[in-house]
A and B are shown apart, each in its own frame.
Chain A
């Protein structure tokens, strides 16, 4: 039985490790803080929206997002109650300018535009100022914190508290590097941290039924309502690596949120957080074997805005690669060597 060590215990590392464990591998996960909350998953809203995230992405990335979306029902069922919710996403636009921008994406996603009134029939909490919208039935959500909690529980003592500074420290037949933005320092691959500020509000459940993906005066915001009354408000996207929440960032998110759903004004502001998405030059993840003569090193990192959505397909492709030496050709567009 091959000994596999996964470096990094975020949602990708854990999903890969759990899949390997299921398939009989002797797997260990190394993470400096096995109970920590430093990963991008901790702030992520958990939108499972292949269309919304891919309007103008490269076609091979869109295919990967859609393929992983197809694996989610089974993945969610295997995890138990992780807040998997298929009510769908309502895309809304506040002003005429917002409608003009959003309409372009709706056309691209082949969604039917809805009038403001129709939008409010579907989602009564939406402001009467909202001019138009579109409903994406296929765009779902899950709670990444619950996903990670289940995966941690399943792997138990196989998660070892250890910081890896150099891959040569790791003793295993195969090493899987799933260290998010930290993968850059371990492998030299071009993965950068892209800052995102995310808020969490809490109030009476039921104000919102759907995920809201909205534009308000040129500010983009998403609102992800959980069954318990929490609403995740995200996110800024900043090419900066610090971890500060700024007045401007929080203001932009709250302003857009309240413009679209005035009832949120009565919610409690419970969390103001920053996370760092592991971004790559083409926004696609890096999945595949490193060119390392010493041993087998497989990379599963750089998932940028799509880490939650891409967890199931990443787990499957990487486990295939580790255990059989090959994987579905859909992985070919994401090889580590493509940035040379």
Chain B
């Protein structure tokens, strides 16, 4: 899929902040950026939805529609791949499924779950989760890397949920992962991005897409992730557990667009002292 195909926002152009992206100069800027979606698995609007935590299928459907995403994650262990409910709905909405290995604590378990997911969902994409403990739900880096190596050798396109450790992220990218997905903060915590500097370091140190996964609480967190240079964000609880999931999904969509635009627009430097926006050059002196 080409960049121009992905870039076009859905809906009436005038109503969307993303409409600004249609100008040729913006388009060039995008190509100048390390904005490489040519691998074709990330949604063009930079927003991936997690399906856990929704109150009802209808509420989830409204959120997916409002988010305008084309990719959602589904936990193999928590859905009946052959059953009614979630998967027929995703099919109807024409969104792709990114299966995940949620609930796995060892490399062996995650590899087995990934292989089952490939059979069940007929995709070689896998969001690899190998959890270190149930209190933090943070990744176990050692098991994660081992599982990633096995799955890459097995022909998967692996998207590992990792910590915000730049060295581990680089090791995962070097192992052949298709993207890296660092946690902003623990899953479901809504604490936002606790170490923005590390997220920036990861963006600079790997040459695969960076997807901020976990920890986003509200729209400004999503915008921040994109300003830091992430290619996409993955959001579940912040949307599905909001009072109004569809409204929050729309907020996140706008935030991702805003953050990405701000990143490419070139922000002003931070200064210690003020600099008047109206210069006083040429003003008559007396």
Contacts and interface: CB of A to CB of B under 8 A. Distances in A.
Given A281-B57, A281-B61, A240 B83 contact: yes
Interface in A176-207: 184, 190, 192-193
Interface string B43-61: 0000000000001111101
Given A56-B243, A239-B86, A281 B80 contact: no
Nearest to B56: A283
Interface in A226-278: 238-241
Interface residues of A, number: 17
B79 A282 contact: no
Contacts of A240: 78-80, 83
Contacts of A108: 243
Contact of B55 (A56, A238, A239): A56
A283 B56 CA distance: 6
B266 interface: no
Nearest to B61: A281
A57 interface: yes
Contacts of A218: 188
Contacts of B61: 281
Contacts of B93: none
A57 B55 contact: yes
Nearest to A100: B190
B79 A239 contact: yes
Main secondary structure of the interface of A (DSSP, over half): loop
Q: Which of A57, A238, A239, A279 has the most CB of B within 10 A?
A: A239
Contacts of A58: 58
Contact of A192 (B58, B78, B83): B83
A192 B85 contact: yes
Contact of A279 (B78, B80, B85): B85
Nearest to A195: B80
Contacts of B83: 192-193, 239-241
Contacts of B85: 192, 239, 279
B8 interface: no
B84 interface: yes
Given A56-B243, A192-B85, A282 B80 contact: no
Interface in A16-70: 56-58
Interface string B96-125: 000000000000000000000000000000
A7 to B, nearest CB: 20
Interface of B: 55-59, 61, 78-80, 83-86, 89, 188, 243
15 contacts: A56-B59, A58-B58, A192-B84, A238-B78, A239-B78, A239-B80, A239-B85, A240-B78, A241-B83, A279-B85, A281-B58, A281-B89, A282-B56, A282-B58, A283-B55
